[in-house]
Structure 1
Amino acid sequence: MGVNTYTYESTTTISPTRLFKALVLDFDNLVPKLLSQHVKNNETIEGDGGVGSIKQMNFVEGGPIKYLKHKIHVIDDKNLETKYSLIEGDILGEKLESITYDIKFEANDNGGCVYKTTTEYHTKGDHVVSEEEHNVGRRENHEYFQGCRSIPSRESFCLRLNIDEKESGLHVRNYACT
């Protein structure tokens, strides 16, 4: 098994605290509402939803993906960081054991956020995930979620996702706007 690592940064005008809350803490509730044409629901399979939990995102019937199963490693609301692994699902195919995402939300000078993602592809055998393959997946995620511009939160405020078009935006935990 090999590990191929890629990093990605993007900026947004949304504060890191608001973005972390929407894309990490409220993700399970928001994504099925935001992407109801693609995502059926999110459910906690094992644990309480926090660190160590196994979560499953179920997609609507007829699409190319049936489900994605993730293991949560870190949810740090003080340092605005999350880490989780895709451990099961159609995306892994025959060449990948898992994909681990380490995502950090940091303040920038304009009151917005720098969103930093480190992606580790844990491969089967001697397969190497090329930068081109990584970028194709990142672009597909961006196109898939490009329509996501507003997300209602539990407090019913509207978070506007002002995506930086230069670098094609955000990567929402569990495959969102990259």
Structure 2
Amino acid sequence: MVAGTVGHEILSPISPSRLWKAMVKDSHNLMPKLMPEIISSIVVLEGDGGVGTIRQSNFTDAIKDFSYWKDRIDEIDDNNRLFKYSVIEGGLLGKKVKSTTFTLEFKDGINGGSICKFHGEFETVEGNLPKEEETEEMMGNMEGMFKAVEGYLLENPNAYV
């Protein structure tokens, strides 16, 4: 087993508060609408959206390696716009990774925009780290989701204000 990390930072013209509301607080409603070709639904199975909440993300056939994952909210800090969650079932658990945790953070950027930081930590099942192409694909998928939300917010300036 090998531990590893991936990270990415994106600059956005959207304010941190709008991104926080859309990507964290209402992702279960917004993401399936914005990306129906990938995400069929996100269901809150347990909890009220705070720490300990369990959600299940269901994916379409566009995702070849798995059909769903369940995650648990480990930390949610509205004041600092910090969100941390762990995948607890499904996804690549047991196939390629033993554990996976993601952190999203939204900081003030220039001209009212944001600096959005994505960080992932994982332990592999086998003794090999993912290939560079695999981590780039993972970060590309995260950025694609981010850009879908960003595009929606740019087109809908009154959403999530």
Give the TM-score of the pair, scaled to structure 2.
0.82
Matches of 2:148 and 2:85, distance apart in 1: 24
**CA deviation profile, 1:32-64 (whole Å, cap 9, x unmatched):** 222223322111222223211211011235752
2:119 corresponds in structure 1 to: 118
Deviation at 1:31? 1.0
Q: What is the Cα deviation at residue 96 of structure 1?
A: 0.4
Partner of 1:150: 152
- Other-structure match for 2:40: 40
Q: What is the aligned-residue identity percentage?
A: 37
Partner of 2:23: 23
Answer whether contact 2:94 2:125 (CA < 8 A) is retained.
Answer: no
Shift of 1:68: 1.5
Larger helix share, 1 or 2:
2
Asked if the contact 2:4/2:129 (under 8 Å) is kept, the reply is yes
Aligned-partner residue type, residue 150 of structure 1: Y
Which blocks of at least 5 consecutive residues in structure 1 are unaligned?
160-178
Supply the AA of the counterpart residue of 2:56. Answer: Q
CA-based RMSD of the aligned residues comes to: 2.6
CA distance in 1, matches of 2:59, 2:6: 26
Letter of the structure 1 residue corresponding to residue 5 of structure 2: T
Letter in 2 for 1:23: M
The CA deviation string for residues 93-112 of structure 1, in whole angstroms up to 9 with x for no partner, is 62201221111100012210
1:121-140 matches, cutoff 5 A: 121-140=122-141
Q: Name the CA shift for 1:124/1:93 in 2 (closer, same or farther; >3 Å).
A: closer
Distance of aligned partners of 1:143 and 1:42 in 2 relative to their CA distance in 1, 3 Å threshold? closer
Aligned twin of 1:165: none
* Residue aligning to 1:101: 102
- Give unmatched runs, 5+ long, in structure 2: none
Normalised TM-score (structure 1) = 0.75
Q: How much does 1:129 deviate?
A: 2.8
Q: 1:19 to 1:142 in 2, by over 3 A?
A: closer
The AA in structure 1 aligned to 2:36 is S
Conserved 8 A contact 1:6-1:131: no
Query: What residue in structure 1 maps to residue 59 of structure 2?
Result: 59
**How far 1:115 sits from its partner (Å)?**
0.4
Q: Residues of 2 paired with 1:76 and 1:145: CA distance?
A: 19
Aligned residues: 156
SS for the counterpart of 2:118 is: strand
